[in-house]
Chains A and B, each alone.
Chain A
Amino acid sequence: MISLLGLALIHLAGAALRAALTSRAFTQVVRSPASGWYAVVLLYGLSLGAPGLVCIAALLAWLRFSRPRPAPSAPVLPLSFWLTLGTLAALMLARPWVPTQWDEFVWLAKARIESTGFATAATASLDPAQDLVPSGYPPLWPSLVAWLSLGVDSVSAHVGAASLLLVLCVATALETWWSRLRSGHPLLLIAVLATPFVWVHARSTYLDLPVGLLAVALLGLALAEDLVTATVLAVVLCALKDEGMVHVFAATAAIWVTAPVRSFKLLSLLLVGGLTAVLWRALLHVHGIANVDHAPTTPLWHWLPQALTLTAFHASDLWSWGVFWSIALALSLLPTEDRTLRALRWALAVNLVLSTGALLAGPEQVRVFAQNGTLLNRLLMQWWPVAAVLVLESRRQAPK
Chain B
Amino acid sequence: MEIDTVKERAGPREFSAADEMPLEYREAATRMIEFHANSEIMGAYLERPFIREAPSIDRKLAYSAKVQDEIGHGQLLYRAAESLGVKTREEMLDDLANGKGKFLNCFHYPMKSWPETAMIAFFVDGAAMRRQATLRRTSWEPYAHAMDKVCFEEGFHVKHGESILAELMTGSKKEQEMTQEVFEMWWPRIIQFFGPTDDKSTHHDFSADVGLKTQSNDDLRNLFLREYIPKAEKYGLEIPDEPRIRQRDDGTYEVEEGDLDWDEFFTIAKNEYEPGLGQINGRKEAQKAVQWVRDTLEWENAPEGAAKPQAAD
A binds B: no
User: Which residues of B are interface residues toward A (Cβ below 8 A)?
Assistant: none
User: Which residues of A are interface residues toward B (Cβ below 8 A)?
Assistant: none
